[in-house]
């Protein structure tokens, strides 16, 4: 592990390679035998489980319940909503047969041509169609509304270029699908959920995000409005981290879902959908980690504190064991996840490097001299600062330190974003600034044509129109036409 | 709902139809638009989530960690293990293409013939192959062992005849896959996990199970030994509720997974796998429920206690509200999940029928007269017994009642199983007894030939050779040949 760490590419040398290596070296995930699909390893999955638990509690607090809908979607469902099929039919896994048989030459198994499906089935790229087809039978009257349902599921999009966590053919996510009696209520729900995501990003991931509205061009296929949270990675690129869509009556119309309203009139139902995925793992890694490995915010760290003993013989170790065990018990009682690593088959130096690579927020080290002096060494992973402190009261110090690390990580990421967010007013400045990375606040004329030309020429996209943006008159950096507010441009993952 | 309840078929009229109707009427699940795939509705999913949480905690207490492996498996992987391919290739969903395109006539979307996969991919029917292909890179030395990994996932088996929860094309499950340095350790792990399942069935599902070994004929495809837990449903039929397999070195050999042992010798790794699925939902329903609807054991009930007020006007209701709210708070503080249903748009009779149908274990009813008298009405769902008791101390009474219901349900199911388990010594008695339902303890000569003939003639299968069976000399009920112990025969789901 220590040797693996030495091999970790530095961020400034090649940020992208640093990321790819770190995902593997920190035991988070690896490529599988299936193109574009990854294996999420136990350490990576433990972080995802913590994300899931926190998000799930937050969803339930808003009245959402979980359910489960089929993995496979009849091909014809995709065509029902015109925009939706455009967005998703291009890149999906298609099931055409339901049986294999032994090859004639005994060499293995082949697809049985007699077991062809009448209608092909698609592995869900997202579930609006199958869910709205189901809702038709669940909704009759305004009394059945709102319907607030979420599912945790795997989905597939046959991406040509994949990167672990950031863009994989199969990924894990949650997708909420709500149904409402009024447009206002649905819009409010879409807004509520993007706020839940932003709150989660801040409190758990220690990741500041910009909340905003997507342009028509960047909207979810089938949505009337898409809200997004956008985070800035350390290289200045944007990462879309979660979206919430107001779907209007598009899917209700496509699947004929009507209800009797309070005035006894039959009306189409209003909808939202919203999701975050294992992509958040990529966002987490790229927001905080450094050239020594992962840096995890305490709220999502599977191990928050590791204690490593320094000893020369069994007698010394048993002395340390006796002193440490009550500390472990007290930390656990405080709800802190702690690992006492007194394994004898690895040297302390190896352990140090390994826990650094894994991003454990706090490390405690204790030897016979510390016991004699009543001290203990504390290291915080985010700054790598070491300090020798009194042993007595170490639990409270650890607790305070974890809180401090959580806050510091957020502050540091926020400072980076603020430093790397600049206003630009000319096309030349725009192109020059893009090379430096970061978010650019610039005027845009509001047309898809301009947006696409800017993307073609610079690879920069409009990440969002920030929700908190202030009206400001100006001229579009590209077309020179009038503009009424600045939008956020950036290159993105 | 009250009218729906009236329509519920009685168990003695048609047990199978009673089950199918109950699953739908109690809002647990429904058929989807995709053949053989169900939608698990929020109320059903809430029960499954409670099962998941309890099982997951129990797995982790044995040192198991969660991970995630790809949904799709290269077709060629299935052929690597000879028995495995026989068991699973026959009934799997095959992905052959990765893109759709607009139909030439504009009528919708069709499979793009240019997007054919070089090698077809199978939706996992179980993950031994992809996981052991991955383990090859994870395991080098005995220091990497044991490897104790579980995943919560969806799987597909293209069953011809499906029934909700019991046998569906797609189902949710967990599959544990462990790797060990010795045969003994792997066998012990397989045994440990079947004990975890039995313990879970007893403590959470209030369902007694027989633990036993499967015959060679009923073994998992690729296993050396399969352990099973078998439960008896109310109609006397058996339901296999969980299995744990000792896989020997079969998958290690198929995927070339070797390790350097303590003696520095290269050796194949030993394996187990074990799983339970949403089938447990079917087992839960059929074990306890009655002609009035679901009966849920308190440990798995999403709502453990419902409180219904009886009132004539708003003033009475607000008087009841004031008295009930502190009770709700105290029950919640005791960790009891409680719902106070003071909704004004449904009559008490409707509410009573609905909560009975949904299997809420305890119902409390309170009116102005109760308040005057300092009393409250308590009903337990399992026996439908009603009692008027002092209001004071109701929380402790509810707690004790929940414990009592949990135990009573188990006892009742155990009594049923004991009553319906009989020893039989002749072929005529065997056939006669089968018509009465239940488990039959009979002698069998140990051959697959006899086992299959008995199945052909009677539809009875050997459910297991119980782990606690006592050696006993006798003669096979079918062949008359010598036998050394009795095995369990039954018809099954």
CA distance A113 to A132: 33
Q: Give yes or no for a contact between A478 and A445, defined as CB atoms under 8 angstroms apart.
A: yes
Average pLDDT over residues A74-78: 93
With CB atoms and an 8 Å threshold, state whether B94 touches A71: no
Nearest to A72 among B37, B97, B101 (CB): B37
Name every chain A residue with its beta carbon within 8 A of the beta carbon of B98: 91-94, 158
Question: Following DSSP, what letter does each residue of A112-151 receive, concatenated?
Answer: -TT-EEEEEEEE-SS-HHHHHHHHHHH-SBGGG--EEEEE
B2 confidence band (pLDDT: 50, 70, 90): very low
With CB atoms and an 8 Å threshold, state whether A100 touches B75: yes
Q: How many CB pairs under 8 A join A and B?
A: 193
Give the pLDDT of residue B6.
Answer: 64
pLDDT digits (tens, 9 = 90+) for A389-426: 999 999 999 999 999 999 999 999 999 999 999 999 99
Nearest to A45 among B68, B85, B137 (CB): B68
A446: left (phi over 0), alpha (psi -120 to 50) or beta: left
The complex scores an ipTM of: 0.96
Task: Report yes or no: B46 at the A interface, CB cutoff 8 Å.
Answer: yes
Instruction: Please choose, from the candidates A128, A130, A173, A176, the residue with its C-alpha nearest in 3D space to the C-alpha of residue A149.
Output: A176
In a mutagenesis test of the A interface, which of B25, B30, B33 is the best target, namely the one with the most A β-carbons within 10 Å? B33
With CB atoms and an 8 Å threshold, state whether B121 touches A93: yes
With CB atoms and an 8 Å threshold, state whether A109 touches B78: yes
Nearest CA in chain A to B120: A111
Is residue B315 predicted with pLDDT exceeding 70?
A: yes
- Look-up of token digits 């009405």: B377
Instruction: Please choose, from the candidates B428, B412, B454, B414, the residue with its C-alpha nearest in 3D space to the C-alpha of residue B487.
Output: B454
CA distance B485 to B462: 13
Instruction: Please choose, from the candidates B245, B198, B194, B200, the residue with its C-alpha nearest in 3D space to the C-alpha of residue B87.
Output: B245
B83 confidence band (pLDDT: 50, 70, 90): confident
DSSP β-ladder status, A170-180 and A270-277: antiparallel
In a mutagenesis test of the A interface, which of B51, B53, B68, B255 is the best target, namely the one with the most A β-carbons within 10 Å? B68
Q: Give yes or no for a contact between B285 and B294, defined as CB atoms under 8 angstroms apart.
A: yes
In a mutagenesis test of the B interface, which of A67, A111, A135, A139 is the best target, namely the one with the most B β-carbons within 10 Å? A67
Task: Report yes or no: B82 at the A interface, CB cutoff 8 Å.
Answer: no
Give the pLDDT of residue A350.
Answer: 95
Q: Give yes or no for a contact between B452 and B217, defined as CB atoms under 8 angstroms apart.
A: yes
CA distance A410 to A388: 26
Contacts of B466 (CB under 8 A, 6+ apart): B210, B211, B212, B487, B488
Residue B98: HSE in the Cβ half-sphere, 13 Å Cα cutoff: 19
pLDDT digits (tens, 9 = 90+) for A280-291: 999 999 999 999
Question: Following DSSP, what letter does each residue of A270-321 receive, concatenated?
Answer: EEEEEEEETHHHHHHHHHH-BTTB----GGG-S-SEEEEE--SSHHHHHHHH
Q: Give yes or no for a contact between A229 and A199, defined as CB atoms under 8 angstroms apart.
A: no
Q: Per DSSP, what are the bridge partners of residue B274?
A: B176, B244
Nearest CA in chain B to A160: B98
- Alpha carbon B144 to its chain centroid, in Å, reads 32
Grouping H, G, I as helix, E, B as strand and the rest as coil, residue A385 is coil
Average pLDDT over residues A53-80: 96
DSSP 8-state secondary structure symbol assigned to residue A89: G
How close, in Å, is residue A95 to chain B by CA atoms? 4
Give the pLDDT of residue A86.
Answer: 81
Cα-only R_g, chain B:
26
Instruction: Give B 95-134 residues with CB within 8 A of chain A.
Output: 95-102, 108-109, 111, 120-123, 130, 133-134
- Look-up of token digits 């869509």: A245
How close, in Å, is residue A396 to chain B by CA atoms? 27
CA distance B342 to B330: 18
pLDDT digits (tens, 9 = 90+) for B48-82: 999 999 999 999 999 999 999 999 999 999 888 87
With CB atoms and an 8 Å threshold, state whether B78 touches A120: no
Average pLDDT over residues A127-150: 97
Name every chain A residue with its beta carbon within 8 A of the beta carbon of B69: 32, 39
- Please state, as a whole number, how many other Cβ atoms lie within 10 Å of the Cβ of residue B379: 21
Grouping H, G, I as helix, E, B as strand and the rest as coil, residue B200 is helix
Is residue B298 predicted with pLDDT exceeding 80?
A: yes
CA distance A453 to B357: 61
CA distance A426 to A404: 41
Give the pLDDT of residue A79.
Answer: 86
Nearest to B41 among A34, A67, A92 (CB): A67
Is residue B1 predicted with pLDDT exceeding 50?
A: no
Average pLDDT over residues B208-218: 97
Q: pTM score, two decimals? A: 0.97
Contacts of B240 (CB under 8 A, 6+ apart): B228, B229, B230, B463, B492, B493
Q: Which two tokens stand for residue A102?
A: 């032994």
- Look-up of token digits 């597909």: B156
């Amino acid at each position: 592990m220590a040797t693996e760490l030495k091999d970790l590419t530095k961020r400034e040398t090649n940020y992208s390679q640093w990321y790819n290596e770190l995902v593997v070296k920190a035991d988070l995930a690896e490529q599988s035998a299936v193109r574009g699909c990854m294996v999420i390893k136990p350490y990576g999955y433990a972080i995802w489980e913590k994300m899931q638990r926190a998000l799930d509690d937050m969803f339930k607090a808003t009245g959402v319940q979980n359910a489960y809908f089929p993995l496979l979607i009849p091909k014809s469902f995709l065509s029902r909503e015109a925009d939706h099929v455009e967005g998703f039919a291009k890149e999906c896994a298609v099931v055409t047969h339901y049986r294999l048989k032994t090859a004639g030459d005994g060499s293995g198994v082949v697809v049985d041509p007699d077991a062809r499906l009448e209608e092909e089935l698609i592995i869900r790229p997202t579930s609006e169609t199958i869910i709205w087809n189901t809702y038709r039978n669940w909704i009759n009257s305004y009394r059945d509304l709102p319907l607030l349902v979420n599912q945790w599921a795997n989905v597939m999009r046959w991406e040509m270029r994949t990167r672990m966590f950031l863009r994989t053919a199969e990924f894990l996510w949650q997708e909420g699908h709500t149904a409402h009696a009024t447009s206002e209520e649905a819009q409010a729900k879409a807004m509520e959920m993007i706020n839940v995501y932003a709150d989660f990003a801040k409190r758990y991931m220690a990741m500041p995000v910009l909340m905003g509205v997507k342009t028509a061009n960047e909207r979810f296929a089938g949505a009337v409005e898409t809200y997004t949270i956008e985070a800035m990675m350390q290289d200045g690129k944007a990462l879309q981290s979660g979206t919430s869509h107001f779907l209007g009556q598009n899917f209700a119309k496509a699947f004929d879902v009507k209800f009797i309203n309070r005035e006894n009139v039959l009306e189409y139902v209003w909808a939202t959908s919203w999701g975050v995925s294992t992509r958040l793992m990529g966002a987490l890694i790229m927001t905080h980690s450094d050239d020594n490995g992962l840096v995890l915010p305490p709220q999502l760290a599977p191990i928050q504190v590791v204690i490593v003993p320094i000893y020369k013989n069994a007698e010394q170790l048993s002395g340390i064991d006796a002193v440490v065990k009550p500390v472990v018990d007290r930390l656990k009682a405080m709800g802190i996840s702690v690992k006492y690593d007194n394994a004898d088959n690895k040297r302390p130096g190896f352990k140090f490097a390994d826990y650094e690579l894994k991003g454990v927020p706090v490390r405690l080290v204790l030897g016979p001299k510390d016991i004699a002096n009543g001290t203990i060494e504390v290291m915080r992973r985010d700054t790598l600062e070491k300090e020798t402190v009194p042993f007595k009261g170490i639990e409270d110090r650890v607790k305070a330190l974890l809180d401090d690390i959580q806050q510091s990580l957020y502050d540091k990421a926020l400072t980076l974003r603020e430093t790397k967010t600049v206003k630009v007013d000319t096309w030349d400045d725009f192109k020059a600034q893009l090379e430096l990375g970061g978010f650019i606040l610039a005027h845009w004329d509001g047309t898809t044509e301009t947006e696409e030309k800017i993307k073609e020429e610079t690879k920069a996209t409009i990440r969002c129109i920030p929700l908190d943006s202030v009206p400001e008159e100006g001229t579009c950096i590209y077309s020179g036409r009038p503009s009424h507010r600045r939008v956020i441009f950036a290159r993105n993952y």
